[in-house]
Chain A
């Protein structure tokens, strides 16, 4: 009985964790130009969970990765923008990818 109860609890916890990771949140990402012409990006999820450690790519128009970094503990990532057009990609997990074009990044 105890084993069955524990197994059920584990199964339920697993199902809940899976649901949360897959469905319960969506990624949010935005970038803007700071005072010293650095680009600051913020990443997060709609359930309030942290994006710390998630990858960010800065790419040229042919999708060549120019810069690769990680979201910091404050849910931000800063970089010196490359010359010309570029895009910033937040890799927030499976199905959780968001791309912002440099033309949409302003102060």
Chain B
């Protein structure tokens, strides 16, 4: 199914962007401007299902099944769905439904790590008649005190970081374990994509200007595999946001009578040394 999905993605991209179009990956973005905070502040999230390197096309999201937060203080999961609001998101290619969330400072003012998890409704990729559901995770730190950033969150599919996702220098290496039902997935197929444009939270839009130009289509989404222990290692050659997606690793393979790809996404932020 993964090969078929890639083939159809490539065909769709070619249709949309002409002969120079490129294979590109779906990524459930869970975005905010800064993940390493000196002090707690209100967090402005954007939840967009898109192709981050190309800035679109963006796929319509239905109301997420779950959006939650947990921290080392108390440890319990807090349901954040009441903070979600649908918006019309402007990508390069189209305008469609995404979500925003304003999380009050009171919920994230504890020192340490704050783990945000999004479980979206499965998305029907009509061209190939399959559903895609990407469990996305993003970790915020307040004050520089490390706490539970490396702890799995008990998701059906998940990427468990082995480096702090919020404390990475440009040029560094990032490692993580691909998990399904809490167990490592040997040789899991992994895609990595860079958010290659600005994200305008005022206008609910992606910037029109690419940060970098891919010399050829295969540079838009990097592809690799986890090793025999399920560990994936990537480089971070540029400051900004990097998405890591492990594809079709869930135990649930069908939804509403159609094939389902359950993917795990983790967002990593890199900063320049300056």
Contacts and interface: CB of A to CB of B under 8 A. Distances in A.
A11 B40 CA distance: 41
Contact of B111 (A26, A28, A47, A107): A28
Interface string A20-49: 000000101010100000000011111110
B96 interface: no
Interface in A57-84: 74-75
Interface in B60-114: 73, 105-106, 109-112
A44 B40 contact: no
Contacts of A107: 105-106
Nearest to B142: A30
Instruction: Give the interface centre of B39, B142, B143, B145 by most chain A CB atoms within 10 Å.
Output: B145
Contacts of A28: 111, 143-145
Interface residues of A, number: 14
B144 A46 contact: yes
Interface string B14-54: 00000000000000000000000001100000000000000
Interface in B111-128: 111-112
B146 A46 contact: yes
Interface residues of B, number: 15
Given A26-B144, A30-B143, A74-B73, A44 B109 contact: no
B28 to A, nearest CB: 30
A48 B146 contact: yes
Contacts of B40: 30, 32
Contacts of A74: 73
A30 B111 contact: yes
A44 B105 contact: no
Interface of B is mostly: loop
Contacts of A45: 145
Contact of B109 (A32, A46, A75): A32
A26 B146 CA distance: 12
B144 A30 contact: no
B145 A44 contact: yes
A44 B106 contact: no
Nearest to B112: A44
B73 A44 contact: no
B147 interface: yes
A46 B112 CA distance: 9
A31 B40 CA distance: 10
A44 B145 CA distance: 6
Contacts of A26: 144
A46 B145 contact: yes
A32 B106 CA distance: 9
17 contacts: A30-B39, A30-B40, A30-B109, A30-B111, A30-B142, A32-B109, A42-B110, A42-B143, A43-B111, A44-B145, A45-B145, A46-B145, A48-B145, A48-B146, A48-B147, A107-B105, A107-B106
Given A30-B143, A44-B112, A48-B145, 4 more contacts: A28-B144, A30-B109, A42-B143, A46-B145
Interface of A: 26, 28, 30, 32, 42-48, 74-75, 107
